[in-house]
Structure 1
């Protein structure tokens, strides 16, 4: 008589997560949970497409439960497992729905299944916000709130920064053909009482982490100016920022650095996608809940050096430091 298949339990998934952290093989893990190796392989294929992907037992288990329920009405995400896994995996990396929607357009331009708006992603996450899974998904959002805020109050019509420029950013900046076009942001610490600044080059991915004492506009822009003015002029041409009020002093920053300042459109984080991705990498060192007031400049510098010396697939497996050196050498040859 053929043995009936039994789905993986939450306890088994906990063991899988633990052994993965210990770098155990799939065969070893299968023996420990008394399962076929194919069962473990199938489970991990859903979540670990790349070496940097993360397996979390609780999210994997709730996904399995939700996926096996008889659904009364299914949204597009629930209807297509491939799309659902992409979105859940992106949430684990700290990617915002706005950036996910932008990434999907780039990665799957001709695939109708892999096509979704950021608003549909938010609706999926908040659809059952009181459920255990709903609460877990909301917590994975970069800026999580128990209830979805009304975009009519917080959206396009609410302009808090005077004279900001969003529509006139030159198209060639999007093409990443030259270094010196930067993106900037603040990463907020626990209870929104601390923050650090991040600046990253769109082409080379070279990162600058800025330690700040508070989130006041004058404080933030003064600290940005200090570090930006240490860079050669040809490596600081423009900066694209989000709509945070800390950049209200942007005209002063532009005057002191000689840089043009642009602002991403509301709900369009993909316009600063390099910065969003880099912030996700920083979160591996400084997870949500970190009090940045307790992080020293030396620690921030170590993180900065680590990421600037890490090979990137998007750079042909060169490091940001190597790419930056190439840009400096090209400029020196031009001057010679």
Structure 2
């Protein structure tokens, strides 16, 4: 049974009854409190103490209630800050279990929310915020570009557990100047960033062809794009490299949720909205992708995407990567 403390209004009513000389047992129904509570307050007032004295004592006692905040050692604080600067999230820092901690994941998230020890949610991916599951984009829409995502379930019945399925999109720079093409492998979450320089169908098609020509054939089974016009040459890509290409429903980025999330993280890792993407170097883009691919992910059992990816690549395929 939950106990509710006396409010200032109740204290005032009891005080007025006491001051008027009303017997304590006669006001229990009027106040809605037990006899002992009323008698306790009468004894308080008989002792020459006031409502203000009672509230002051109550607040003092209340300040000692509840669990005391955890105080982390300096070495743990410094370790957490270093890992956050490397792009790790609190659940990854704790879950990776590279060392022991004095708190759990939920407590660490609360510390970030409160700003304890200099922690801040602004340093976390998505700044501690995210769209709810099932979020549907309401911005401008175009028509369906190619084969529907719903055909993918028929072609690949084991899609959710199968390696080799990509999600793709483009990310633009400041004032829509320049663009890069991004791909995310769904099972291992590895991120690939290709330097297309602009968002034209010709540039995006060319850079995708170059990349697929450089990797083992049939390593990837499908790609799911959004309906951007930059993917208009999808038939040529599908036929040339024998890969299935699908398109998410219009206005439903959640159907390519991994790629959307990785794009947001890439923004934080260097692909800022204030940056002109037309003249980015390949080395810079590789460093952005490498940073994300070396951060452990909870959904991968705290492996990094690169570690998870390499488990699905044979020695023979790896030789082709290195040639």
TM-score, length-scaled by structure 1? 0.55
The answer to whether 1:325 aligns with 2:304 is no
The answer to whether 1:165 aligns with 2:231 is no
1:300 aligns to what?
285
Return the index of the structure with the highest Cα Rg: 2
Q: Residue 144 of structure 2 contacts residue 249 of structure 2 at CA under 8 Å; is this kept in 1?
A: no
The answer to whether 1:182 aligns with 2:182 is no
1:223 aligns to what?
207
- How many Å separate the matches in 2 of 1:329 and 1:293? 36
Q: Residue 222 of structure 1 contacts residue 253 of structure 1 at CA under 8 Å; is this kept in 2?
A: no
1:268 aligns to what?
252
The partner residue of 2:133 within 101, 121, 128 is 101
Encode CA deviations 1:127-168: one digit per residue, 9 max, x unaligned: xxxxxxxxxxxxxxxxxxxxx75xxxx44xx4263x443331
- How many Å separate the matches in 2 of 1:289 and 1:93? 22
- How many Å separate the matches in 2 of 1:275 and 1:230? 22
TM-score, length-scaled by structure 2? 0.57
2:127 aligns to what?
92
Q: Residue 148 of structure 2 contacts residue 249 of structure 2 at CA under 8 Å; is this kept in 1?
A: no
1:330–1:273 Cα change, 3 Å: farther
1:54–1:278 Cα change, 3 Å: farther
Deviation at 1:277, TM superposition (A): 1.6
Deviation at 1:176, TM superposition (A): 2.8
1:220–1:93 Cα change, 3 Å: farther
Map residues 8-23 of structure 1 onto 2, 5 A cutoff.
Answer: 23=81
What secondary structure sits across from 2:292 in the alignment?
helix
2:276 aligns to what?
291
Encode CA deviations 1:52-87: one digit per residue, 9 max, x unaligned: x95249xxxxxxxxxxxxxxxxxxxxxxxxxxxxxx
- How many Å separate the matches in 1 of 2:251 and 2:158? 18
Encode CA deviations 1:91-133: one digit per residue, 9 max, x unaligned: 53685x4xx323xxxxxxxxxxxxxxx36xx8xxxxxxxxxxx
Q: Residue 181 of structure 1 contacts residue 202 of structure 1 at CA under 8 Å; is this kept in 2?
A: yes
- How many Å separate the matches in 2 of 1:203 and 1:331? 21
- Structure 1: gaps spanning 5 or more residues: 5-18, 25-40, 58-88, 103-117, 123-147
> How many pairs were matched up?
217
Which gives a bigger RCO, structure 1 or 2 (Cα 8 Å, sep 6+)?
2
- Structure 2: gaps spanning 5 or more residues: 1-55, 61-76, 83-106, 318-323
Map residues 1-336 of structure 1 onto 2, 5 A cutoff.
Answer: 1=56, 23=81, 44-45=110-111, 47=113, 54-56=120-122, 92=127, 95=130, 97=131, 100-102=132-134, 118=135, 149=139, 154-155=140-141, 158-159=142-143, 161=145, 163-170=146-153, 172=156, 175-286=159-270, 287-329=272-314
